Structure 1
């Protein structure tokens, strides 16, 4: 959810070794799993109403308020995942390590979600939207005002739990997994210990991209952007948000993380050879498939109910 600017991103050049002969793609496998759940997450009545200009300002404002808190949870989770990444202790001879590329992606993602939060506040001011969720005010001016947990959308609560479960550290000493990789021997730690976290970040961005791309495809044809002032939200979605969340740049940014995940998995499969590949695939699927399904449920529950 970048550009979700999630996003307009800083363009970087990724130098990767040649793709191994393995053709199995973890991300394609996940996208083909639980198709009904994926459709509910990416083709919701809320999105159709947004595309057709039928979302009232109060409904849009409530959703943006929840999405803004999602950003805060996203930032905390990114920090935890960054702390779990075991960066190479020496410069690799075969190109930039997947772990280093993941760090680059997460840093760009953090900058992008902060831009997005500022975008929320700017657009809200120009279009008259309230992007504050319900709060429990303090009795006195010295007491903190806290968010009313009961005012959160179910999907936000679920996403906060998902992000909270991302591991913040590994038990291995720095460089342990990297040394095992360079010496071509089984690592003493979990294979790709950052994988679950990376899949969750890719999954939330990919579903967001597909959801708003679907909404864009459902916009009435031939309706000029100047007519957006007649929309129930005054044109905030059609003029500001939908173009941002369905952009080519956002798609490339999401695709970069998906490609990084698939490449790292392919490298792992190549190292174990044909005899061990099936076992490694089964291990990886067992680690991420249930989490993927939980993520889809959370994404579907993040869209407010509309008539």
Structure 2
């Protein structure tokens, strides 16, 4: 079996990977015990996150000629799929919010959305969300194309495995008030279709042929991106 950068990154940061994809929020989501306020607060921040994701994909697309010529066609296909997916996801968020009476402008309990010194009912990013979006934009503009692609894969991989973890915790008894919405979210992001998409991105990243050598600058940068994504993913989930 040939060397795989994606497997290397997961194994290198195994503990951080588990923390990012097996958070208490996900356990409660799988057990369907989350209250609507907590779910709404997460939904709001994830909707804001999708805006950063769109920027990242657009930036990578604008730089696709920097990728090895052997992966460019596959890259354009994946980026096009990613843009379509996130556009559908934004509509999905809004529909679930409407169908299940979730507040798309919610903030976590005890947090006030303050703008210009006043409490406002706006969709404002929390610091963790802003940091994530800023990292995506910075990597997409200032990082190498390899770093940007590792970031794209890492954020999708974490999302897939996080909701797959939640799907494995599902309990039928004593569902909470947000159970129906949670069922939709879990199904959407643990589906075979989503896994196939994430796997395709991983295969492309592995085709970049970055040496698995910590003394190699390309490997060091890829590890730096992975470490940062895992930290941001863990911080992104609502406190439980």
Instruction: Tell me the TM-score range normalised by the shorter chain.
Output: 0.7 to 0.9
**Closer/same/farther in 2, CA of residues 278 and 201 from structure 1, 3 Å limit:** closer
1:9 corresponds to: none
Whether contact under 8 Å (2:41, 2:105) holds in the other structure is: yes
TM-score (norm 1): 0.69
64, 74, 78: which one aligns with 2:43: 64
How far apart are 1:132 and its partner, in Å? 1.4
Whether contact under 8 Å (1:98, 1:260) holds in the other structure is: yes
Deviations 1:261-289 (A, max 9, x none): 11231xxx7xxxxxxx6779823211211
Whether contact under 8 Å (1:80, 1:166) holds in the other structure is: no
**Closer/same/farther in 2, CA of residues 293 and 279 from structure 1, 3 Å limit:** closer
Give distance in 2, aligned partners of 1:164 and 1:248: 29
155, 159, 163: which one aligns with 1:204: 155
211, 224, 230: which one aligns with 1:290: 224
Number of aligned positions between the proteins = 233
Deviations 1:22-67 (A, max 9, x none): 8111111001011111111000110011111110001100000000
How far apart are 1:148 and its partner, in Å? 4.1
Kindly report which structure 2 residues correspond to 1:101-180, keeping only aligned pairs within 5 A, or say none: 101-133=74-106, 147-149=123-125, 152=126, 154-168=127-141
Kindly report which structure 2 residues correspond to 1:262-277, keeping only aligned pairs within 5 A, or say none: 262-265=206-209
Give distance in 2, aligned partners of 1:57 and 1:133: 10
20, 25, 49: which one aligns with 1:46: 25
Q: Can you give the 5+ residue segments of structure 1 that lack an aligned partner in the other structure?
A: 1-21, 139-144, 171-192, 270-276
Whether contact under 8 Å (2:26, 2:162) holds in the other structure is: yes
Q: Can you give the 5+ residue segments of structure 2 that lack an aligned partner in the other structure?
A: 108-112
170, 180, 185: which one aligns with 1:219: 170
Whether contact under 8 Å (2:212, 2:219) holds in the other structure is: no
Q: Does 1:236 align with 2:181?
A: yes
252, 258, 271: which one aligns with 2:196: 252
Q: Which has the higher helix share?
A: 2
Whether contact under 8 Å (1:84, 1:194) holds in the other structure is: yes
Deviations 1:130-166 (A, max 9, x none): 011465579xxxxxx96545xx1x4312211211212
Give distance in 1, aligned partners of 2:199 and 2:137: 24
21, 25, 34: which one aligns with 2:4: 25
Give distance in 1, aligned partners of 2:238 and 2:123: 18
Q: What's the Cα RMSD here? A: 2.8
Whether contact under 8 Å (2:3, 2:212) holds in the other structure is: no
Give distance in 2, aligned partners of 1:195 and 1:112: 22
Whether contact under 8 Å (1:60, 1:233) holds in the other structure is: yes
Give distance in 2, aligned partners of 1:148 and 1:73: 13
Q: Secondary structure at the match of 1:32?
A: helix
